[in-house]
């Protein structure tokens, strides 16, 4: 009987802890994730900015476009 009361008390305490500390934990985790994605966005944005600057300086030279041969066309007839 004593073991059953201890198990029930532990479950009740865990419920209280998750009720009060759960939102704080989720808020902490979401802030860390947002900061991580923000840092990735800034680095990607900075990389794209330098690429655009490099592309603007080379805009006077034309890059020849290559025509790729995908394959040959095969004509077929539908058989009934």
Output the tens digit of pLDDT for each of the chain's 80 residues: 999 999 999 999 999 998 999 999 999 999 999 988 888 877 766 666 665 555 555 455 566 666 777 777 777 777 86
pTM of the model: 0.40
Is the Cα torsion angle 25, 26, 27, 32 positive or negative in sign?
Answer: positive
CA atoms within 13 A on the CB side of 15: 6
């Amino acid at each position: 009987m004593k073991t059953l009361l201890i198990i029930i008390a532990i479950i009740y305490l865990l419920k209280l802890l998750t009720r009060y500390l759960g939102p704080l934990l989720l808020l902490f985790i979401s802030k860390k994730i947002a900061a991580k994605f923000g840092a990735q966005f800034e680095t990607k944005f900075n990389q794209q900015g330098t690429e655009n600057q490099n592309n603007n300086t080379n805009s006077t030279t034309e890059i020849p476009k290559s025509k790729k041969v995908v394959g040959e066309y095969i004509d077929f007839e539908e058989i009934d």
